[in-house]
Structure 1
Amino acid sequence: MEPGDFSEGVISNEASVVNLPLIWNTHTIAGETLPSEGYATFRLEVTTADTENILGLQVPVMFSANKLWVDDRLIAQSGEVGIDQSTSIPQKHPRVVYFSPESSSFTITLQISNYHHVDGGILDPVILGTSDNIHASHMMEVIFQSVIIGFLVLAGIYHIGLGVFRRTEPYFYYFGLLCLVAAFRYLMVGDVFFTKFFPNVDWELANKLDYISLYSHVPLLSMVIYRLYLKESYRWFTIITIIVAVIYDLLTIFTEAKVYLLFEVYFHLFMIICVCYSLIVLARSLRSKHAERYYLLIGIVFLMITILIDISAEFLRLPDVDVYPIGIVFFVICLSLVISRRLSKSLDLSKSLANDLAQLNSDLEAKVEARTNQLQQSNKKLKELNVKLKNMALVDGLTNIPNRRQFDDYFKEQMELCAKEKAPVSILFLDIDYFKKYNDWYGHQKGDECLQQVAQELDKQISSLPGGLVSRYGGEEFVGLIPRLNQEEAERVARDINKQIEQLEIAHHTSPVSKYVTLSIGLYTTVPDKQMDLNSVLKQADEALYQAKALGRNQVASKTGTGNVVPFQPKEERS
């Protein structure tokens, strides 16, 4: 019936006076309980002495479509009121409307139809008042609901972040999800922000999302409690909550509201069981020695109380109070105190560890410095030892000039270099004349001194030349190398050496050739090539030395490329 029907006197014989708010299937007429499906018209005549102020109506969610008139003016509508399921279109749009009455008396007419929900009628009251009062009351509700939703969203994001970065404490992650789910469901109650954001959303879809989010609270809260109290809680109960929630979610997804809402009461009973289980876990946790257990205990107990209040309102079909999100907020505050306390302990521990580490670093630096000095001293000694070992390996121990090993390496190097440059190389074999007789007459100590004097003079004469090198080849025999001198220049150097050794005037009374120590020198000069055999070069110089000895000693013999030996100090010319 519409307002015009009343003015024409068309009034149903079944009309009666009822108290609002009213759920139809809790009301009886003539001893019979009304069904939840159907349609009804409510009419209220209002008389007021104040006709100057603008009035307001706060229209709540109704099940499940409605129209509202003031006198003959339609001022609010949610969905489409119909006489059957095909003509009735449900919507969930609470709103606040304002109007100016034309006189001190006016009539409010309300039409409701329901063919989609298990409950039909009005659960929350329609509030009439001045526009200022209605607006102030509505804004307070909107602000409060917005603050709660914003707080839950921020808490959810924060705790999920903690859970991601602190994998050892996964209850942060589950609690963050719980906060986000609670924030989402709070969009579906009160002023129903969800339908304001999405005004064209299907009523069935919005209702499914509402109840799926409701069912998801239980397993998430159970996992939070399980992770907070591992020793006191039971894993099997957490698994049961997950299974029950999944079953109800699937039932909600694949059936319509008139079906899945019939089973809602059993889920509320299950929630009461979960609350009892949580209280048992909390009672067991009191035996722990953690000081923060009291913060968690207070927060969870308060949360359980808000859950029981909401469940009681559902059972008693009272107007929605929706205090559960407030319980979540209070629990977030308590959990934040726990986190702050743990963080404070962590900071104190970090500070203590930092001080200990600083002390250890200070001691370590001193030890490292001392150890570094030791290593530096060891390295210095090692370098000195390496130099000594190198000298021992490449220097003759008696004469302190290069030994045969050093000469062999240098000889090979110079032969390759002179082969590239096509420069001559001269090899000198030098042998002290009658040195065995010297040793036998003067003794081995004098023999060593003789070798040292001869070696130093040879080193002075040959090493002073560019690239020149002399080494002890064995016993009283020496070998010299002079690069980049032609044969004539090399012969002159050899004669000078022969002369300088005799001028040392080292007495040698048993020598048949001189009263002083003398040398026999074999010289071989050649321009090497890459295919030349090094041993053959040494052999040529050795043969020249043999010829110098054969010709009477104390002279220089030079081996030419033709194989001839040229003496430079014949025996008869020596003094």
Structure 2
Amino acid sequence: MFSLYMDESMWVICMIYFNRIKTDKLRIWGGYKMKTIMYTLFLILAAGLAGCGNPVVDDSAASNGVLTLPEDEQEEAVYTLDGEWKFYWQRLMLPSEVSGSGADPLYVQTPSGWSDTQTESGPLPNKGYGTYHLEIELPELLTDDTAGIYIPEIATAYTLWVDQKVVAENGTPGVSRSSTRPDHHPQAAYFKPESDTIDLVLHVSEFHQRKSGWWDSFYIGSAENIQSMRDQNTTREVFLVVSLLVMGLYHLGIFVLRPSDTAPLFFGGLCLAVAARTLLLGEVLFLRFFSGIPWEWTLKFEYWAPCLGIVCAILFIYTQYHRDMNIWIRNSFLTLFSLMAFIILVTPARIFTEGMIFLQSTAVLALVYINIVLWTALCRGRRGSRAHAGAMLILLAFVVNDVLHYNHIINTGETVSIGVFSYLFAQSFIMASRFTNALTHSRQLSDRLEKANQTLEEKVELRTRKLTETNQELEKANQRLERMYRARQELMSNISHELGTPMTSIQGYIKGMLDGVIDRGDPAYLQLVYNKTLLLQKITDDLRELAKLESGGITYTFEERNMRDYVETIYFVYKEEIERKGILFTWEDHLPPERNGVVSIDPIRMEQVLSNLLLNAKKFTPSGGTVTLIVQEQEDRHSIMTGVRDDGPGIEGEELPNVFKRFFKGGANVVKSEEGVGLGLAISAEIVRSHGGEVGVESRKGEGSLFYFSLPVFPVNKNDS
């Protein structure tokens, strides 16, 4: 048990280091194989550190109040004092009175509470006091050296004699609540045995909480071995707490830098809650830093930590899988644990500790529900749900173990740290992977855009040379010229139609200045004229772009892409820009997990389409509304639909057929503060048609709009990819 803390601490340090170095170099080195090697090295290192340096523990059991310890040939043994101790209920007997009292003792099994002891009138009550007595026959090694005893937490006050000498005290035991001063934390006592047999007499009283006796083992051995064991315990717990604090503060720092993402906030809170709980268990390091804190407040802190930790865990899971968690169940758990924290704050220990069973049961139920949410997410193919669900299942198993241990049903020691760190390691890795993938995809897109700009002239020259090599290419060139001619004619027609209004406005302002109706130096009218020239330039640029698309003058670079991953990357690229307006930007993946969703696209041009749809949705959605990016499989299973849904004013039914036509601006949907020319959707439609896809829109007046396009998908299963 004492070796477990080092194991989990090493997981934390390795995780932090791995998250920092996990960059594109790992992808170059081999991706999956490299991560497998790293995991294997972590396991070997952690297992090696967990198993070294611990003293040998001999678990000989006492019988009828007598314990005979065997000889230790290696001189490294640390013995437990578990087994049957003599117990005198409701009597605080001095060591000189125990042997000659003539009283009949009870025999209690340790470690446990005396409430587990059955008498003729039933089990003993939790509240009360008594005297424990154990005779120990020492091995020769301990009779020749200074010996040490490791004393665990004993509820709630005690005095320990060895051979009629007081060697350790914790609080002040008494025969009533008023005469007892509570305190409990582990400590070590050292003494020089006077013979090969020693007598341990222990006064214990409990009137302040629900537990009695002790639930971890006493240890005895040489002073050097006992001190070494305590030093190892302290070192591991300090290492564990520091690791948790680093993790917690690191993720809180991420939240401070990017407050729109609350997942690091709740994850950091969970790490700090576990760190606080670790400070209050084991060697109770909390008292070494804050020795003046009253006993009852340290107990309140110990009970608060699980409440805070589970609240943070529920909220963290909700940020990751909100579509899979029921909001009413979530709020019910949050209310329950908040109420428990309040009760702990305002009631004394003798009251709130009685609710420990309820707190533990509710915690187990919360973790069971979290497991249900994670397995639901796993079945729906959510990203990262496999590692998440596996780690949470391990955590649940260890929580159940600790509930049984602290209720004296089993005696395995505190083990929840193993499950907690398995869970925290998995979550840190998942979060780091998501951040890294988003940055990597963004950087890849930027690199491709830059490369495309640098090589554009070379590609044009290459395509021109190919046109002259075959009659087929010449024929295609003739067809393209014909389309360009038609597009030019249509361009001139559109120019004469659309440029009339701004040109008329400009002429009117200038004529007014010439006639003296308008002051020639009036900056307001000069600004109006300038704005109209900007509108003319925007119309001309968009018409030129549309003409190139329709005439085939744009070169596409098609690549096979997984549409789910591509659209998710676009979501992270535009998330901050859209949410800056106060809009909630969400992402919905409705593709079946078994579908890979591979399509052939030009990533740059397809981003132009998605950017147009997203920025239109942002323009028409008021602050406080929602914009959703959607990807799903069409009913025919041969194409994938990608859409953008907004909370805008919607579109009249008679206007829907004209949405993707040139210069269409609609009636009620015009945003007065943002003037447009009505060519963006027409350009997007041409790009989608060039990919062999279709565009569409669904909208009702006052109910928002859904603009979407569909692309043909390659008929390849995920297992074949």
Structures share a fold, TM > 0.5?
yes
The alpha-carbon deviation at position 292 of structure 1 amounts to 2.7
Q: 302-311 or 148-157, which moves further after superposition? A: 302-311
- Native 8 Å contact 1:179 1:328 kept in 2: no
Larger radius of gyration: 1
SS of the residue 1:22 aligns to: coil
Aligned equivalents of 1:303 and 1:164: distance in 2? 28
The alpha-carbon deviation at position 155 of structure 1 amounts to 0.8
| Alignment equivalent of 1:211, drawn from 303, 307, 311 | 303
Structure 1 residues 328, 80: closer, same or farther in 2, change over 3 A? same
Letter of the structure 1 residue corresponding to residue 295 of structure 2:
W
Aligned equivalents of 1:302 and 1:351: distance in 2? 36
Letter of the structure 2 residue corresponding to residue 127 of structure 1:
Y
The alpha-carbon deviation at position 2 of structure 1 amounts to 4.7
Q: Which residue of 2 aligns with 1:80?
A: 172
Q: Which residue of 1 aligns with 2:364?
A: 272
- Native 8 Å contact 1:218 1:241 kept in 2: no
Q: Which residue of 1 aligns with 2:642?
A: none
- Native 8 Å contact 2:148 2:188 kept in 1: yes
The alpha-carbon deviation at position 109 of structure 1 amounts to 1.1
**How is 1:121-160 mapped onto 2 (pairs within 5 angstroms)?**
121-160=213-252
Letter of the structure 2 residue corresponding to residue 5 of structure 1:
S
The alpha-carbon deviation at position 173 of structure 1 amounts to 0.8
Aligned equivalents of 2:232 and 2:110: distance in 1? 24
- Native 8 Å contact 2:95 2:161 kept in 1: no
Q: Which residue of 1 aligns with 2:602?
A: none
Deviation per CA, 1:507-555, whole angstroms, max 9, x where unpaired?
A: xxxxxxxxxxxxxxxxxxxxxxxxxxxxxxxxxxxxxxxxxxxxxxxxx
Verify: 1:354 aligned to 2:446, yes or no: yes
Verify: 1:9 aligned to 2:100, yes or no: yes
- Native 8 Å contact 1:148 1:326 kept in 2: no
Aligned equivalents of 2:166 and 2:139: distance in 1? 23
- Native 8 Å contact 2:270 2:310 kept in 1: no
- Native 8 Å contact 1:71 1:107 kept in 2: yes
| TM-score (norm: length of structure 1) | 0.60
Letter of the structure 2 residue corresponding to residue 96 of structure 1:
A
Q: Which residue of 2 aligns with 1:24?
A: 114
Deviation per CA, 1:215-241, whole angstroms, max 9, x where unpaired?
A: 222221111111111111122222112
Aligned equivalents of 1:38 and 1:328: distance in 2? 36
Q: Which residue of 1 aligns with 2:195?
A: 103
Structure 1 residues 22, 308: closer, same or farther in 2, change over 3 A? closer
Verify: 1:164 aligned to 2:256, yes or no: yes
| Alignment equivalent of 1:64, drawn from 139, 145, 156 | 156
Q: Which residue of 2 aligns with 1:44?
A: 134
Aligned residues: 365
The alpha-carbon deviation at position 20 of structure 1 amounts to 1.6
Structure 1 residues 215, 348: closer, same or farther in 2, change over 3 A? closer
| Alignment equivalent of 1:114, drawn from 206, 230, 236 | 206
Letter of the structure 2 residue corresponding to residue 56 of structure 1:
G
Aligned equivalents of 1:312 and 1:143: distance in 2? 27
Letter of the structure 1 residue corresponding to residue 168 of structure 2:
A
The alpha-carbon deviation at position 319 of structure 1 amounts to 4.7
Deviation per CA, 1:78-136, whole angstroms, max 9, x where unpaired?
A: 00111111110001221012221011111111111111111222222211222233233
Q: Which residue of 2 aligns with 1:286?
A: 378
Aligned equivalents of 1:4 and 1:315: distance in 2? 31
Structure 1 residues 230, 133: closer, same or farther in 2, change over 3 A? same
Aligned equivalents of 1:44 and 1:213: distance in 2? 36
SS of the residue 1:111 aligns to: strand
Q: Which residue of 1 aligns with 2:492?
A: none
Letter of the structure 1 residue corresponding to residue 134 of structure 2:
L
Deviation per CA, 1:192-211, whole angstroms, max 9, x where unpaired?
A: 11122222321111111111
The alpha-carbon deviation at position 274 of structure 1 amounts to 1.3
Structure 1 residues 365, 242: closer, same or farther in 2, change over 3 A? farther
Aligned equivalents of 1:66 and 1:234: distance in 2? 48
The alpha-carbon deviation at position 272 of structure 1 amounts to 2.2
Q: Which residue of 2 aligns with 1:522?
A: none
- Native 8 Å contact 1:65 1:112 kept in 2: yes
Structure 1 residues 265, 36: closer, same or farther in 2, change over 3 A? same
Letter of the structure 1 residue corresponding to residue 233 of structure 2:
E
The alpha-carbon deviation at position 251 of structure 1 amounts to 1.3
Letter of the structure 1 residue corresponding to residue 96 of structure 2:
D
The alpha-carbon deviation at position 256 of structure 1 amounts to 1.3
Verify: 1:233 aligned to 2:325, yes or no: yes
- Native 8 Å contact 2:128 2:206 kept in 1: yes
Deviation per CA, 1:273-308, whole angstroms, max 9, x where unpaired?
A: 212211211221123344532222222222222222
Letter of the structure 2 residue corresponding to residue 117 of structure 1:
Q
Q: Which residue of 2 aligns with 1:185?
A: 277
The alpha-carbon deviation at position 174 of structure 1 amounts to 0.3
Structure 1 residues 121, 10: closer, same or farther in 2, change over 3 A? same
- Native 8 Å contact 2:344 2:352 kept in 1: yes
Aligned equivalents of 2:188 and 2:131: distance in 1? 20
Letter of the structure 2 residue corresponding to residue 28 of structure 1:
Q
| TM-score (norm: length of structure 2) | 0.48
Aligned equivalents of 2:401 and 2:98: distance in 1? 44
Where in structure 2 are there 5+ consecutive unaligned residues? Answer: 1-91, 459-721
| Alignment equivalent of 1:330, drawn from 392, 414, 422 | 422
Aligned equivalents of 2:98 and 2:233: distance in 1? 37
Aligned equivalents of 1:182 and 1:4: distance in 2? 42
Letter of the structure 2 residue corresponding to residue 236 of structure 1:
W
Aligned equivalents of 1:7 and 1:302: distance in 2? 48
- Native 8 Å contact 1:151 1:329 kept in 2: no
Deviation per CA, 1:138-158, whole angstroms, max 9, x where unpaired?
A: 233222222221111111111
Q: Which residue of 1 aligns with 2:634?
A: none
Aligned equivalents of 1:152 and 1:85: distance in 2? 38
Aligned equivalents of 1:25 and 1:193: distance in 2? 29
Which runs of structure 1 show a deviation greater than 6 angstroms over 4 or more consecutive aligned residues? 363-366
Percent identity, aligned pairs only?
A: 24
Letter of the structure 1 residue corresponding to residue 120 of structure 2:
A
The alpha-carbon deviation at position 4 of structure 1 amounts to 4.4
Q: Which residue of 2 aligns with 1:507?
A: none
Letter of the structure 1 residue corresponding to residue 447 of structure 2:
N
Please, what is the CA RMSD of the aligned residues? Answer: 2.4
Aligned equivalents of 2:451 and 2:416: distance in 1? 52
- Native 8 Å contact 1:148 1:325 kept in 2: no
Q: 92-101 or 281-290, which moves further after superposition? A: 281-290
SS of the residue 1:110 aligns to: strand
Where in structure 1 are there 5+ consecutive unaligned residues? Answer: 367-575
Structure 1 residues 365, 83: closer, same or farther in 2, change over 3 A? farther
Aligned equivalents of 2:349 and 2:159: distance in 1? 22
Q: Which residue of 1 aligns with 2:548?
A: none
Aligned equivalents of 1:97 and 1:354: distance in 2? 66
Structure 1 residues 340, 220: closer, same or farther in 2, change over 3 A? closer
- Native 8 Å contact 2:177 2:207 kept in 1: yes
Aligned equivalents of 1:340 and 1:107: distance in 2? 57
Q: 319-328 or 80-89, which moves further after superposition? A: 319-328
Q: Which residue of 1 aligns with 2:463?
A: none
SS of the residue 1:19 aligns to: strand
| Alignment equivalent of 1:243, drawn from 335, 345, 348 | 335
SS of the residue 1:75 aligns to: strand
SS of the residue 1:333 aligns to: helix
Q: Which residue of 2 aligns with 1:303?
A: 395
The alpha-carbon deviation at position 361 of structure 1 amounts to 6.3
- Native 8 Å contact 1:226 1:234 kept in 2: no
- Native 8 Å contact 1:92 1:195 kept in 2: no
- Native 8 Å contact 1:62 1:92 kept in 2: yes
Q: Which residue of 1 aligns with 2:64?
A: none
